[in-house]
Structure 1
Amino acid sequence: MPELAQDPALRSESYDEIAKDLQRLRFDAGDIPYAEIVRRIAEHREQNGVPASASRPARTTVYDAFRLGRSRVNPTLVGEIVRALGVSEADVALWEARCLQARRQHDAEPPTGVPLPGAERIEAKRKPKQATLRASIILMVACVGINVAGFSIVPWLSLPLYLDMVGTAIAALVLGPWYGVAVGLATNAIGLSITDSSSIWFGLVNIVGALIWGYGARRFRMCQTFSRYVLLNAIVAVACTLVATTLLVLLFNGATGHAAEQTTDALVDMGEPLTLAVFISNLVHSLTDKGLTAFAALGAMGFVSRWFEVPFYVSLVETQPDGLLRLANMFDARKALASRAHARAVRDAL
């Protein structure tokens, strides 16, 4: 287990070093799930007189202690985490001392700039708004690129999916519904040069999806829990299916040559009416497609949350299954732990 030198004040510490050592400790303890760590912390708090209603820390708070790039770490919480992972009380004190040392070093770092007087200070206050606008434009362009990439890959691989609304979902959830609409329309306009004129009609599907994602997340609070987020994406799938079915039946006689239409053909051969066959086929494939879109968008929200405020992201992550939290943290953990032997070597060196 990583330990301090005899005098913590003599050792240089950083929050990233502490996070990496926490990752190593957790893996050495048997890759204990974050939910189990939360349960152990709550149990210890209750044994020390904390009411059960106030004893359980948020799972995302515990998860964040293992995350790199932190600018602040709670020493008491870190002590509770390592205690839950099986270290002795003496080592708990050492971990807390490491956190305090990292805080002293962080607070002692010289400021990167000095206050600006008068008009220069006013101009400096405007810069974050300009940066936010620029970042929003960059994100929208990236979202269009993601949509177009999915739009192009599907016919190339003959996939029975759509994959042309991942960027629409990201823009609608992070920036707002009408940003998603703009991304969706741009995607279908570009699609004209990839397929045929049918692409522009299906811009209506992108519009409907963007509005439901955006307003569902903000106005109807459908992203406050993971289960509601899954429900929101199912609603998007149903709504997009209704629009797509209408377009396919009225304008294209039920088919445009998409790989998913093999299901439609099979249903028609079984005697189902064309409209019902188109609806069932689209619904089945759309539910799968929007499920993949939901997880892709969730990962993207975690990535862009360092530049954009996504107010519901913390509660959304906190309520998702623990396995997804472990998956999200896997890359950082695997980088820090190339192998068990490497972990032991690092531990011994410390």
Structure 2
Amino acid sequence: MGQIFLTLLCLVSLKLANAGRVTTSLYVTQFALLAFVLGLCLMFDVPNGDLPRVSHLFLLPLALVGYINFKTNRSPIQAVLIGASLLGFIALSSTHYALPFAQPIADDIRIYGVWVNSIIATALSALCVYALQAEIERTDRLARNLADALWREEFELYYQPQVDRNGRRIGAEALLRWTPAGGKPISPAEFIPAAEQAGLMGRIGYWVLQQAMQTLADWAKNEETRHLTLSVNVSASQFLEDGFERSVLNLIETFGIDPTRLKIELTESVMVANPELVTAKMHVLRAVGIGMALDDFGTGYSSLGYLRQLPLTQLKIDRSFVQSMMENKRSAALVRSIVQMGLDLELDVLAEGVETREQVNFLTQNGCQAYQGFLFGRPVPLDDFMRPAAAAAA
């Protein structure tokens, strides 16, 4: 029975992971293993005067796995899994409790299981500790390299086009890329969390704003690009820094740009961090004409009430909804609702992750005004982004 359960668990977890739902796969696996170990302890591994319970030892490596995941995904669900594993270990270590209808395994079998399970659980715990130490060292090394990358000028901004209903470029989103000297490009999904943990996001974010302002200043000199807007992602830690809005205004003055050409993108996680402070900062920036976009709308934890309070100018529909809306009725209904909500609130609505004409047609029919995705252009260096403008000017 146990082998069948574990086999089915592996199949379900693999199916979820292959479908791109890696986080869900991890949660399902951890919950199932926790339930399996607890059931095994309470139903079959019942201690007696001669043989102790040992199956609960597997709860320690399970808690360690949870902690390793928690370092990269600090979710309440993961914290609950860690706590449940540790509490289960303490309770089962301190009592001989078993279910009233328990069916203990015979002692002549358990006498071998005590040794085998203890050895396996100890080995798994040691492996988890090794993996945790390796992850800590990797993160520390990555953080040091990130700090060096700033003065080595290893960062670069890529630009992904944003277009209107007619396919005309109306702007771009600036996306941070990092290629260490002599090395391969490192994914933002890897280095941005490391920069956040190391407290470097403020410095890196300021560099991004400087480069974005320079780009806008250059675009203003060209008839073909002066109408373009540039969107810049700002992390929660950077936005909540004292004086962030003042530094943005100083940069605008230094580079002499039109602030209405700049758009700051915030995720919903920023809204829940400190709603009053976020609102005050946004009003300061909005007062000079800077656009404020809510990125990845629908994937975070914010209340719809924030949409009434915040001086937003744009909603961005998350790519996960766009990519599934043609096959999933719920995603399609959600996209329609987001577009209509944005229109009712007099906000621009932009869909991310657009890859097919079918998606464009659906979005257009439902009132979406702007698009961003591989169908219209991949993120590219500034020189490559400028080539269509240069060709048009010629």
Q: TM-score, normalised by structure 2?
A: 0.28
Higher helix content, 1 or 2: 1
Higher strand content, 1 or 2: 2
Which structure is richer in relative contact order (CA contacts within 8 A, separation 6 or more)?
1
